[in-house]
Chains A and B, each alone.
Chain A
Amino acid sequence: MSEVKQEKKPRKGAEKKGKKAWFSGWFRSKSIWMIHYCSACGAVELPPVVMSPLDFERYGFMPAPTPRQADAFVVMGYVNKKTLKVLLRLYEQMPEPKYVLVGCNCPATGGLYWDSYATIKDISEYIPVDVWVPGCMPRSFDWLKGFLELARLVREGKIPQTPRPIEERPGELEEMILKEIQAREERFKRERG
């Protein structure tokens, strides 16, 4: 069995400066597909963003049904341990380049559920976050502002990408995802006791 190839260097031409990179960033920022996963209560303010009255499709955002077609990963509200597994799995399945937008206070600090035994307190320990939308809950225009901020970052090429390993045999990626999740959980246990 060949070992899992982990690229150390970023893919060539991916995030380089210059006309080509500017062009690709501009194109990407005009069609960001968000994964359709209403993970918690923040999702109740998403429909006004998606449909009437704010309609973020005019900026090129769109909900995508599967993680394989999605560019942006949106965490809406508190994340408990069971949801976290789903979130990580979805995140790992998304193709590069991928962006993460996190709304609400609870995934940032624990928020209102600071003493809940089931929710995690800081999502950025698990996935790298690009844009935060604070509030409990963020109003729909705050969400839209967050999306536009994400588009701006993408357009200006400010979100560098982690190189992902390449799958050589079928099922390898799934194993890797499992391994990563286990490693994260172990790290979490070690750090937090």
Chain B
Amino acid sequence: MAESKPRMIFLGPQHPGAPGNVAFKVWLKGEKVVKAELVPGFLHRGFEKMMENRWWEVDVVLSPRYCVEDPDNFELAYVLAVEDLFGVEAPEKAKVVRTIVAEMSRIQSHLFWLMHMGGATGARYIPGWAMAAREEILKWYDYVTGHRIYHHYMTPGGIRWNIPKDFKEVTLRALNKVMPIVKDIEDAFINNRILRARTEGIGVVKGYVAVQLNATGPTLRAAGIKYDVRKVDPYEAYRDVDFEIPTGTEGDAHDRIVVRIREIYQSKRIIEQLVERVKPEDLNYRVKMPLLPPPSLPWPAVARHGEGMSRVEAARGEAMVHVVGIKDRKPYRVKLITPSMPLLTTVMDYIIEHEDITIADLPIIVMSLDPCPPDIDR
């Protein structure tokens, strides 16, 4: 048979196997994937420009919206960068509460990802269970912050309002409802023979290669590299909590599933330690932002000249925000550095180059990397 030319097809954006609104150009030879190229831009809004047009405090509203699935970690990144620029440090209580909210966000993001992963592998029972568990966390968010998805609970200088009186009980109750479902998912999903057959040895990024591909987050940790910004450059309350960094050994799709599920347990451990330290009657949960002239305006009147930077471990990897202020009510430049771009470009290219994968494996590999398309496009 003569050598045929590769045939190009589109995977996505309207495709149940695509992780949200993003497309791939896939070149196929028969069933084998020869090359895949990312086609982003379906979710582009021009965030960095929009943030330059708004006031410092209004930008908090925009800040979680560039990653829908894991909003609070990105909100935290922006808030920390602004605090850094204004030279403010949030009170201890606010730090602890923010850390709890960010860890809850990590859990719900991983549960949302479990829905995608279960769907991609054909385990139709997993999405329902994961959504049931995530719903408990959304209810917790609704009670504590007032919103289900985008919370705007953090604000530069602290948290927006005090926590409810029964914060500890509510938090532990939510965790106690979530964790049995996670345990069920773990039992039914991780060691399932079909799942193992479909994910083991597929999408291998092992060892130091992951660093060279500039991967971050669970993909890097599943490759066997113990690297987590919460440990290497601790922020907020992570300095004095006790947790581990789960790592994989093989670096394949199955390892990434295992790492993420173990991360849920670590997040639970962090929350359980921190929730003891929060007292609802403590009213020192927000500091006033320093006012530069004119002082008649409400808090962030004018930022000083300078730069602020923050580094946060989001659910998908390292996220950074760099803000530049001139003496103005609006930021001069906000740069949002997001974790998803290497996952769908360099890591995907590497996997396709080094493995024989078919079109049926492609959704599994893409899902196991857990990209968040809006944070590529911004």
Binding site for B on A (CB under 8 A): 35-41, 43-45, 47-48, 51-53, 63, 65, 67, 78, 80, 82-83, 86, 90, 112-113, 115-119, 136-137, 139-140
- For A48, give its contact among B44, B49, B129, B131 (CB under 8 Å): B131
Q: Collect the chain A residues with CB atoms within 8 Å of residue B69's CB.
A: 44
Given A52-B132, A65-B16, A112-B62, answer yes or no on A40-B127 (Cβ-Cβ < 8 Å): no
User: Can you give 21 contacting A-B residue pairs, CB < 8 Å?
Assistant: A38-B21, A40-B43, A44-B68, A45-B148, A45-B149, A47-B127, A48-B134, A51-B115, A52-B135, A53-B132, A63-B16, A80-B44, A83-B13, A86-B42, A112-B61, A113-B45, A115-B50, A116-B50, A118-B44, A137-B149, A139-B148
Q: Collect the chain B residues with CB atoms within 8 Å of residue A86's CB.
A: 13-14, 42
Q: Collect the chain B residues with CB atoms within 8 Å of residue A118's CB.
A: 44-46
Instruction: Give the docked Cα–Cα distance between A172 and B295 (Å).
Output: 66
Whether a CB of chain A sits under 8 angstroms from the CB of B112 is: yes
Whether a CB of chain A sits under 8 angstroms from the CB of B201 is: no
Q: Which of B61-85 contact A (CB under 8 A)?
A: 61-62, 65, 68-69
Instruction: Give the docked Cα–Cα distance between A137 and B44 (Å).
Output: 18
Question: What would 13 more interface pairs be, CB under 8 Å, given A80-B45, A112-B62, A119-B45?
Answer: A36-B14, A41-B374, A44-B69, A44-B112, A44-B149, A48-B131, A51-B115, A51-B127, A51-B131, A53-B132, A63-B16, A115-B50, A116-B50
Whether a CB of chain A sits under 8 angstroms from the CB of B150 is: yes
Min C-beta distance of A115 to chain B, whole Å: 6
Q: Collect the chain A residues with CB atoms within 8 Å of residue B150's CB.
A: 136-137
Q: Collect the chain B residues with CB atoms within 8 Å of residue A37's CB.
A: 13-14, 21
Name the residue in A39, A82, A119 with the highest tally of chain B Cβ atoms < 10 Å from its Cβ. A82
Interface size on B, residues (CB 8 A): 33
Whether a CB of chain A sits under 8 angstroms from the CB of B41 is: yes
Instruction: Give the docked Cα–Cα distance between A83 and B42 (Å).
Output: 5
Q: Collect the chain B residues with CB atoms within 8 Å of residue A78's CB.
A: 45
Whether a CB of chain A sits under 8 angstroms from the CB of B342 is: no
Instruction: Give the docked Cα–Cα distance between A44 and B343 (Å).
Output: 21
Instruction: Give the docked Cα–Cα distance between A47 and B129 (Å).
Output: 11
Mask: chain B, 140-156; 1 = CB below 8 Å from A; 0 = not: 00000000111000000
9 cross-chain pairs, A with B, having the tightest CB-CB distances, nearest first = A52-B132, A41-B68, A37-B14, A51-B131, A51-B128, A44-B68, A116-B45, A52-B131, A83-B42
Instruction: Give the docked Cα–Cα distance between A152 and B42 (Å).
Output: 32
A53 touching B46, Cβ below 8 Å = no
Instruction: Give the docked Cα–Cα distance between A86 and B20 (Å).
Output: 14
